[in-house]
């Protein structure tokens, strides 16, 4: 990474609005997640800078900063000249280590706040679902809880964990809560895999999910809400614990 290539962008960034930092982080996370989840393939060329910035709704200055951070992390390489551009480069290190790199981008304060937001969404969703759910509506949640109890690899566990909470929001019959939950899941990305790789904790989560479903089915809204919140808080607390070891 040569200085002249980024110097201008970095200097301009100094004098851009402070909010830019959050936008850079958001772009880094988004693209980093997409690479981590395999949505962008190794060696794939990213769109041109102005096009990509337009698609993401950020300035080219913000995008360049984000690309610089992704290059430092080895997730993107840039080739100059004809046929040049930015390319996805999956580093040759275990997925777990890459996820820890991603976790390192979060401060413990941000993780705590993420846990609060998630608990608020899932707790509210569980309470409403308990009021509004008939037996037939619970089948997706039961299926997800069953699949989570069987899933062997950490990536699948992470996806099922997220799906459970999206389905819980849908069971609340709230499009807004569901959209918020989907947005939160895309921000969290694969991070929950870090704590779900451990079988004992996976069992605990699957059990909590089953108890949430049972409380929703019984129409016990306060119990369902408290259980859903505790489930999310516990995961966030474990992520914080992992973050503190980095």
* Closest by CA position to 245, among listed 108, 139, 120: 108
**x/- string (CB under 8 A) for another protein, residues 106-135?**
-------------------------xxxx-
Strand 85-88 to 76-79 pairing: antiparallel
184 binds another protein (CB under 8 A): no
Q: C-beta of 81: minimal distance to another protein in Å?
A: 32
Question: Looking at 32, 162, 192, 225, which residue binds another protein (CB under 8 A)?
Answer: 162
Q: How far is CA 79 from the centre of its chain?
A: 29
Contact at 8 Å (CB) between 192 and 111? no
Question: Looking at 30, 112, 146, 163, which residue binds another protein (CB under 8 A)?
Answer: 163
55 binds another protein (CB under 8 A): no
Q: C-beta of 141: minimal distance to another protein in Å?
A: 12
Would you give the DSSP letter of residue 45? Answer: B
Q: C-beta of 243: minimal distance to another protein in Å?
A: 24
**x/- string (CB under 8 A) for another protein, residues 29-48?**
--------xxx---------
Burial 10-38 (b: 16+ CB within 10 A, else e): eeebeebeeebeebbbebbbebbbbbbee
Name which of 112 and 142 has its Cβ closer to another protein. 142
Helix or strand holding residue 111 (H, E):
helix 108-132
Q: C-beta of 16: minimal distance to another protein in Å?
A: 30
- Residue 191's φ and ψ, nearest 5 degrees, are -55, -40
Q: C-beta of 180: minimal distance to another protein in Å?
A: 10
218 binds another protein (CB under 8 A): no
Residue 104 CB coordination number (10 Å): 11
Q: C-beta of 157: minimal distance to another protein in Å?
A: 10
Q: Bin 70: left if φ > 0, else alpha if -120 < ψ < 50, else beta.
A: alpha
Q: Which residues of this protein are in contact with another protein, per CB under 8 A?
A: 37-39, 131-134, 136-137, 139-140, 143, 159-160, 162-163, 166-167, 169-170, 173-175, 178-179, 182
């Amino acid at each position: 990474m040569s200085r002249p290539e980024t110097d201008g962008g970095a200097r301009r960034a100094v004098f851009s609005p402070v909010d830019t930092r959050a936008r850079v982080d958001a772009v880094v996370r988004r693209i980093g997640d997409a690479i981590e989840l395999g949505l962008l393939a190794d060696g794939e060329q990213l769109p041109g800078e102005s096009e990509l910035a337009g698609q993401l709704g950020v300035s080219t200055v913000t995008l360049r900063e984000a690309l610089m951070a992704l290059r430092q992390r080895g997730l993107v390489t840039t080739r100059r000249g004809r046929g040049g551009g930015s390319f996805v480069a999956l580093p040759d290190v275990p997925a777990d280590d890459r996820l820890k790199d991603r976790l390192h981008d979060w401060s413990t304060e941000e993780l705590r706040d993420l846990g609060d937001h998630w608990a608020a969404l899932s707790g509210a969703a569980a309470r409403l679902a308990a009021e509004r759910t008939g037996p037939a509506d619970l089948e997706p949640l039961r299926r997800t809880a069953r699949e989570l109890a069987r899933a062997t690899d950490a990536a699948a566990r992470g996806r099922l964990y997220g799906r459970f909470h999206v389905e819980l929001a849908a069971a609340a019959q709230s499009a807004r809560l569901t959209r918020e939950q989907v947005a939160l899941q895309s921000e969290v990305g694969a991070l929950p895999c870090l704590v779900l790789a451990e079988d004992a904790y996976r069992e605990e989560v699957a059990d909590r999910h089953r108890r949430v479903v049972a409380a929703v089915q019984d129409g016990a809204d306060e119990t369902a809400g408290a259980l859903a919140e505790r489930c999310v808080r516990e995961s966030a607390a474990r992520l914080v614990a992992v973050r503190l070891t980095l």
